[in-house]
Structure 1
């Protein structure tokens, strides 16, 4: 039996309750620091990237698609993972997602940070990249992204969409906020 650190939740057992190619849902029996036992639901998903594609004039390229779980379409930054290659190089993944979703290729790709978008529920980590020196090309979308649209917006327009609630994607908000915090805007 593991010795329990006074600030650590200890996993006692794990049962996978659902699994598909995109995720695994586990139910963990745990012991909390105070000594009582309980259940934790944990979703395992491959890590992903989010890309802030910045044009020479400062506009930011966004994508829009229908998001089934929330039953709506909205604008967001390009983002994704490669389920078939979960350990792929993150910069390569960022370049791939940018080209796949928008058609743009980046002359320069810079990682500016990382985050856990839903650390209380999902083990998934997100790495944030800024793409510059953009050149247009043909998008290579997956069949599930066939309805995707792409357009460029000024930062002021994006901030207005956040404020009005018409761009409710938390990952996009966090990435733009992180970029701003790092003094890159």
Structure 2
């Protein structure tokens, strides 16, 4: 049965075709039969990793984010390359950005950070059994590594030091997965 809120695509045009993002403008038929326009971004998808050290500390990174003009505290993450397996991407991003490899991996879920204007999805992983092997940052990538307990990270969300949506969502999962008792 068709969802009564479904909007049917009638036309589509590419407005912008960049290296990372593609912007579309579609003509749609709305649920009441009238015509509408939807503009949205197509994104290849990404992963976010919750890396848990033996002592229970989580590994974060501080990275400058140009659109907002400042550094953000966030969990390691990165774009899924065309045809890349999501676990392979998570393993690659963790090692490139933090210098750690994980022995044990669990896929926890998915989040959609910008549902009003993008099809982006971010796959959430938990990595444990970490070993430091050295980072391999992409050219032009600069960041600082920060270790925090789950309680410190939670406090950082509530005092405004962590505002990144993928990190907040992943921490919500971490609270469930790392609960003691």
TM-score scaled to structure 2, two decimals? 0.93
C-alpha distance in 1 between matches for 2:92 and 2:3: 42
Name the residue aligned to 1:129. Answer: 125
Name the residue aligned to 1:47. Answer: 45
Root-mean-square deviation over aligned CA pairs: 1.4
- For residues 4-153 of structure 1, the aligned pairs below 5 Å read 6-82=4-80, 85-145=81-141, 147-153=142-148
C-alpha distance in 1 between matches for 2:50 and 2:155: 17
1:5, CA displacement in angstroms? 5.9
- Runs of 4+ in structure 1 deviating by more than 6 angstroms, as ranges, are none
Distance 1:58 1:5, change over 3 A: closer
1:19, CA displacement in angstroms? 1.0
Asked whether the 8 Å contact 1:47–1:86 carries over to 2, the reply is no
C-alpha distance in 2 between matches for 1:72 and 1:171: 17
Give the gaps of 5 or more residues in structure 2.
none
SS at match of 1:100: helix
CA displacement 1:27-67 (0-9 Å, x = unmatched): 11111101111111110011111000001111000011100
C-alpha distance in 1 between matches for 2:130 and 2:89: 16
Asked whether the 8 Å contact 2:154–2:171 carries over to 1, the reply is no
1:86, CA displacement in angstroms? 2.1
Give the gaps of 5 or more residues in structure 1.
none
How many residues align structurally?
178
TM-score scaled to structure 1, two decimals? 0.91
C-alpha distance in 2 between matches for 1:171 and 1:110: 17
SS at match of 1:93: helix
C-alpha distance in 2 between matches for 1:126 and 1:119: 12
Asked whether the 8 Å contact 1:112–1:179 carries over to 2, the reply is no
1:81, CA displacement in angstroms? 1.3
SS at match of 2:140: helix
Asked whether the 8 Å contact 1:48–1:125 carries over to 2, the reply is yes
